[in-house]
Amino acid sequence: MVVSGYHAWLVSLIFLTAAPLMAGAACLYRARRGNYRRGWIALAVAMLLWGGGMAGNLYSGLLLDSWSGVGTFSMLLFILYGVPLILVLAVPEREHWLVRLIDAALALGLGYLFFRHTYAFAAMAEANPENLASLRSMFDIENLFIALFALIRFHTTADPAQRRFFGSFAIYAVLYLATAAFINHLHSDVYYGHWPDIAIGLPFLMLGGLALDDASEGDEASRASVSFEQAVRVGGPLMLPAMLLVVSAVLVRSHPVHAIAGCAAAILGYGFRNIFVQVRSLNAHDQLERLTLVDALTGLANRRQFDASLRREWARAHRTGEGLALLMIDVDHFKLLNDSFGHPVGDRRLHDVAQALAACATRASDIVARYGGEEFVAILPAVTPAQAMLVAETMRTAVARLGLRSPAPLGHVTVSVGIGHIDHVADGDVGALIAAADAALYEAKQGGRNRTMAHPAAPE
């Protein structure tokens, strides 16, 4: 710039166009290495937009030789520069593509409204210094917001690659905030081609250097509390609609139609986003709850669900005065089967036996569960001893008819069944029913296996 004389402005504009483009290229290089690709690509897109806006100024200066102001297209690119930055700060990782699409639409709407607001202020700023001051303050607020949230994300991120990215982003954002404030408030009336232009390029050069730095991310953990980290993750998506509402409120007088559209987009967009996220969360919760109550091998209720169900049916029988039966079912000679055929075969035999037992429990109130190892249980509410014996025999014969090969004396898999039954639940504990079923199972196994025995429960 010193030696180019009259053409210093051209040198300056080329530098200010090249600096963000080089920073964007460095961010793409970092993204190709697989270290938090989403973030580095977002920064690269932002650099491309900023460099494109400056290239528009360069084009205007070369062809029009006029410094009447930034063109509409260049200003739009400068405004859109913040959209990918806000997206990477506001949208949590691993979101569904539809959620990301909604967030992207909100970010684009925010960029458009901000453009309308900025363009209107820029047009009025030439005649009114107060409008120019408002325009500068608005840019300060946007840059401050991006810098603060980048620092928060850095402080609350534990993943090394993401922490490295948000650390670099925060350094760039703080430097850009200071540089933009310096230029906008102290040197806004100085044309291109003077020494303050060097300061404009410094944040981009710093970002390029950080992106090209091959130092290891390290394994430093987040210093923030878990509750604060969770609050940032949950509250981050609110940033986009909140900003959209603020900008829409500012536009009410100058562009009422755009303001109403912005408010509607913010409310509906965030509402649809919340509905979709909540539905996915409920589905995940239901699936997780099911996993905690279902035995993975057999698909039956697990021990936890059995314990809760037995207490519930015991209390119901106490209220209604109806009988309650508990069947304890044990696969005969299962250790011999496992030792002879191996555990994979043993697991398949348990699965097949479980399905046969479940098919015999035809009432909706009947519950068949895996009790542990090769032992199963069945809860039969509101049955008589004869009805419980009929279900137990049906289960025993159903397993025998499967003809599952086994090294047991009979050559196929069989089960022994013990029945505990109580006619009327008065006081006492459910342990009496379990003890009765266990005693009956012991008698069935001692009696030769592949048989059913019953034992009345004695109230404690």
What average pLDDT does the segment 13-21 reach?
A: 93
Among the listed residues 61, 50, 58, the one whose alpha carbon sits nearest the alpha carbon of residue 24: 50
Higher pLDDT, 17 or 219: 17
- In eight-state DSSP terms, residue 236 is G
The whole-number pLDDT of residue 129 equals: 62
131 confidence band (pLDDT: 50, 70, 90)? low
Beta bridge partners of 325: 380, 421
* pLDDT(104) > 90: no
Long-range contacts of 363-367 (CB under 8 A, 24+ apart): 365/313, 366/391, 367/301, 367/305, 367/306, 367/309, 367/313
User: Domains (ranges, CATH) in the chain?
Assistant: 5-291 (1.20.1070), 303-456 (3.30.70.270)
Lowest mean pLDDT among 73-77, 103-107, 120-124: 120-124
What average pLDDT does the segment 126-131 reach?
A: 58
What average pLDDT does the segment 52-59 reach?
A: 86
Whole-number Å distance between alpha carbons of 317 and 170: 64
- Widest CA span of the chain, in angstroms? 110
Burial 304-331 (b: 16+ CB within 10 A, else e): ebbeebbeebbeebbeeebbbbbbbbbb
Q: Residues 289, 313, 374, 393: which is the catalytic one? A: 374
Return the amino acid letter for 248.
Answer: S
What average pLDDT does the segment 244-267 reach?
A: 85
**Which two structure tokens, joined as six digits, stand for 377?**
């249980």
31 confidence band (pLDDT: 50, 70, 90)? very high
Whole-number Å distance between alpha carbons of 445 and 453: 9
Whole-number Å distance between alpha carbons of 325 and 457: 9
Lowest mean pLDDT among 17-21, 90-94, 214-218, 362-366: 214-218
Beta bridge partners of 416: 330
- In eight-state DSSP terms, residue 405 is B
Taking a C-beta distance cutoff of 8 angstroms, is the pair 208, 173 a contact?
A: no
Higher pLDDT, 276 or 121: 276
Whole-number Å distance between alpha carbons of 252 and 242: 16
What average pLDDT does the segment 114-124 reach?
A: 65
Q: Which residues have a Cβ under 8 Å from the Cβ of 297 and sit 6 or more positions away?
A: 347, 350, 351, 354, 370
- In eight-state DSSP terms, residue 412 is B
Tens-place pLDDT, residues 238-251: 878 887 888 788 77
What average pLDDT does the segment 320-333 reach?
A: 94
**Which two structure tokens, joined as six digits, stand for 301?**
């209720």
* pLDDT(121) > 70: no
Taking a C-beta distance cutoff of 8 angstroms, is the pair 36, 168 a contact?
A: no
Higher pLDDT, 311 or 107: 311
3-state secondary structure 257-320: HHHHHHHHHHHHHHHHHHHHHHHHHHHHHHHHHHHHHECCCCCCECHHHHHHHHHHHHHHHHHH
* pTM metric for this prediction: 0.62
The count of C-alpha atoms lying within 13 angstroms of the C-alpha of 320, restricted to the half-sphere facing its C-beta, is: 13
Among the listed residues 12, 79, 18, 26, the one whose alpha carbon sits nearest the alpha carbon of residue 207: 26
Q: Which residues have a Cβ under 8 Å from the Cβ of 151 and sit 6 or more positions away?
A: 170, 173, 174
Taking a C-beta distance cutoff of 8 angstroms, is the pair 415, 329 a contact?
A: yes
Q: At what angle do helices 82-90 and 37-64 cross, to 10 degrees?
A: 170
The whole-number pLDDT of residue 108 equals: 83
Backbone conformation region of residue 42, classed left if phi is above 0, alpha if psi is from -120 to 50, else beta: alpha
Q: Residue 406 in 3-state DSSP? A: coil
Residue 374 bears catalytic tag: yes
Backbone torsions φ then ψ of 416, nearest 5 degrees: -110, 140
Tens-place pLDDT, residues 264-314: 999 999 899 889 888 888 888 777 777 788 998 999 999 999 999 999 999
Among the listed residues 41, 46, 114, the one whose alpha carbon sits nearest the alpha carbon of residue 76: 114
Whole-number Å distance between alpha carbons of 179 and 356: 74
Lowest mean pLDDT among 227-231, 284-288, 356-360, 417-421: 227-231
Whole-number Å distance between alpha carbons of 262 and 245: 7
